[in-house]
């Protein structure tokens, strides 16, 4: 006996509109017109003799019957997509990512050769900006963001930010083979933000009486790191962003003290997360972070 199935295009239109909560977004994802989505949904409702959506001031919303139907249809489409991908060629295509300059230059770009070796057919295009971009509104596949506070559930933690103190080799004064904290506190210090973390770092490092510190105007992270490399002062910086300089020996860590300070998170465009290439880049980022944690002894 043949299966009783509605037309596939009608099911795709309904599933996309229900999952995204918008006929307009469904039309964009399926690369068809808004009227085509509306026509397919109306035809499906007539065929099933139920109302799947209800109209409201902000657009459309699923009815109870529509929500129940979607809960069965979406997993079915996911299983079809997974089975198809299992038979298909390796992930390929363009993936777009937005992030801020420091994370791109100091953490992401040094790792791109690893991505190319793992997925040679994926082209990761990085857009650098000082603004926190709405990835759906600006049509980015994903965003890598620094956030101080715990974000919403749609953000996935890549790595915690841990601030440590660094300086060029031979810069920091020493006493009895260890960094002289009192002398360091009187010397030139560099910060990359206005949070004024040096006093707390000195207290955690064991300096009992922290003097009033002569802290200059904060620099951007890139300039702060380069200033420390040039021997202009000691710098407080996220350990993840100083990896290239520490690895090359241009900077050395001054003490085994770190200050937890937010984290870097990944957010993926809902319209893009079904693409195999996007999922492959997400997994690569998570694997890179796991390797970095292992290297840091986390």
The mean pLDDT of the chain is 87
Q: How many residues does the chain have?
A: 298
H-helix or E-strand containing 133? Answer: none
Given a cut of 90, whether residue 64 has pLDDT beyond it is: yes
Coil, strand or helix at 184 = helix
Rounded to whole angstroms, how far apart are CA atoms 272 and 59? 22
Q: What is the pLDDT of residue 132?
A: 67
| Confidence grade of residue 172 (pLDDT, cut at 50, 70, 90) | confident
pTM: 0.68
Confidence of residue 295 (pLDDT cuts 50, 70, 90): low
Q: Specify the fold of 8-87.
A: Arc Repressor Mutant, subunit A (1.10.10)
Give 194's pLDDT tier (boundaries 50, 70, 90): low
| pLDDT of 195 over the 60 cut | yes
What is the Cα–Cα distance from 135 to 137, expressed in whole angstroms? 6
Residue 124 pLDDT level (bands cut at 50, 70, 90): very high
- DSSP letter at 107 equals I
Cβ atoms 239, 258 nearer than 8 A:
yes
Do 106 and 244 contact (CB within 8 A), yes or no?
yes
pLDDT at 91 over 80: yes
pLDDT of the residue at 10: 93
pLDDT of 187 reads 82
Numbered ranges of CATH 3.40.190.290 in the chain: 92-298
Average pLDDT (59-80) is: 90
> How much helix, strand and coil, in percent to the nearest 5, is found in the chain?
45, 20, 35
Residue 136 has pLDDT above 80, yes or no: no
Q: What SS3 state is found at 22?
A: coil
* pLDDT higher than threshold 60 for residue 297: no
d(CA 238, CA 235): 10
Q: Mean pLDDT across the stretch 285-293? A: 85
Q: Which residue's structure tokens are 């801020």?
A: 100
Hey, what CATH topology would domain 92-298 get?
D-Maltodextrin-Binding Protein; domain 2 (3.40.190)
Q: Name the residue among 86, 62, 85 with its Cα closest to residue 14.
A: 62
Q: Are 160 and 177 spatial neighbours (Cβ–Cβ below 8 Å)?
A: no
Name 48's Cβ contacts closer than 8 Å, sequence gap at least 6: 6, 69
Mean pLDDT to the nearest integer, 11-25 = 92
| Residue whose entry in the numeric block shows the structure tokens 């002569």 | 214
Cα 144 from Cα 136, distance rounded (Å): 14
pLDDT (mean) for 66-77: 92
Which pLDDT band, with edges at 50, 70 and 90, does 135 fall under? Answer: confident
pLDDT digits (tens, 9 = 90+) for 177-193: 788 898 888 888 988 87
Best CA proximity match to 66, nearest among 42, 101, 89, 88: 42
**Average pLDDT of span 29-41:** 93
How far, in Å, CA of 282 to CA of 171, rounded? 39
Residues of the chain with CATH 1.10.10.10: 8-87
pLDDT at residue 89 tops 90: no
- Sign, CA torsion 28/30/33/35: negative
The pLDDT assigned to 82 comes to 76
Tell me which residue has tokens 């790191």.
Answer: 225
């Amino acid at each position: 006996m043949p299966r009783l199935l509605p037309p596939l295009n009608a099911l795709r239109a309904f599933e996309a509109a229900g999952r995204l909560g918008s006929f307009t977004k469904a039309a964009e994802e399926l690369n068809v017109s808004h009227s085509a989505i509306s026509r397919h949904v109306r035809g499906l409702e007539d065929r099933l003799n139920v109302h799947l959506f209800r109209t409201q001031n902000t657009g459309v919303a699923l009815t109870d019957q529509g929500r129940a139907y979607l809960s069965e249809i979406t997993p079915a489409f996911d299983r079809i997509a997974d089975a198809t991908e299992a038979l298909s060629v390796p992930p390929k295509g363009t993936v777009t990512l937005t992030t801020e300059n420091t994370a791109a230059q100091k953490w992401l770009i040094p790792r791109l050769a690893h991505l190319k070796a793992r997925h040679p057919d994926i082209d990761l295009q990085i857009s650098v900006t000082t603004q926190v971009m709405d990835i759906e509104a600006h049509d980015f596949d994903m965003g890598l963001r620094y956030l101080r506070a715990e974000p919403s559930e749609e953000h996935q933690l890549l790595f915690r930010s841990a601030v440590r103190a660094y300086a060029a080799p031979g810069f920091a004064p020493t006493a009895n083979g260890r960094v002289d904290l009192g002398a360091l506190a009187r010397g030139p210090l560099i910060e990359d933000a206005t949070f004024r973390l040096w006093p707390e770092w000195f207290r955690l490092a064991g300096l009992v009486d922290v003097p009033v510190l002569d802290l200059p105007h904060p620099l951007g992270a890139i300039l702060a790191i380069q200033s420390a490399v040039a021997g202009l002062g000691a710098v407080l910086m996220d350990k993840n962003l100083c990896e290239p300089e520490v690895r090359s020996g241009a900077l050395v860590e001054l003490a085994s003290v770190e200050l937890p300070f937010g984290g870097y998170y990944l957010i993926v465009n809902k319209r893009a997360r079904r693409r195999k290439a996007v999922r492959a880049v997400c997994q690569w980022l998570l694997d890179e972070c796991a390797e970095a944690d292992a290297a840091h002894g986390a």
